Structure formats: C-alpha cells, structure tokens
Amino acid sequence: MKQKLSITIDEEKIKIIENLLKEGLFRSKSHILEYSLNKFLREKENDR
C-alpha cells in the first residue's frame, strides 16, 4: 500500500525533475522519486 509523503526539494532538482517529465521518461514526479529511491535502496543492499 502506498502512502502520501510531503518533502522539500531545492529548485534546481525540481527543474531537473520537470525536464525528465517533459522528456516522457516518467509518468509523474512520484514515479521519478519512487524509481530513484528504489535504485538507491538496491545499491545500498548490494554494498552490504
């Protein structure tokens, strides 16, 4: 089950996220952040 989460991100990263959306690589800001978090967590798990 997914839950809502409120975060604060600096403007430069928001611009990057918005550009990724314009390129059509992701469906939404949530999709970008979930993808990135999953990738980060997989890499951390592999470091163990």
Q: SS in 3 state form for the chain?
A: CCCCCCCCCCHHHHHHHHHHHHCCCCCCHHHHHHHHHHHHHHHHHHHC
Domain-located, residue 30: yes
Domain-located, residue 1: no
Containing structural domain, residue 38: 11-47
Would you place residue 4 in the very low, low, confident or very high pLDDT band (cuts 50, 70, 90)?
Answer: very high
Give the model confidence (pLDDT) of 6-44 as tens digits.
999 999 999 999 999 999 999 999 999 999 999 999 999
Helix (H, G, I), strand (E, B) or coil at 6: coil
Domain-located, residue 27: yes
Q: Which pLDDT does position 5 carry in this prediction? A: 93
Domain-located, residue 2: no
Q: Which pLDDT does position 21 carry in this prediction? A: 96
Domain-located, residue 3: no
Domain-located, residue 19: yes
| pTM tops 0.85 | no
The count of domains in the chain is 1
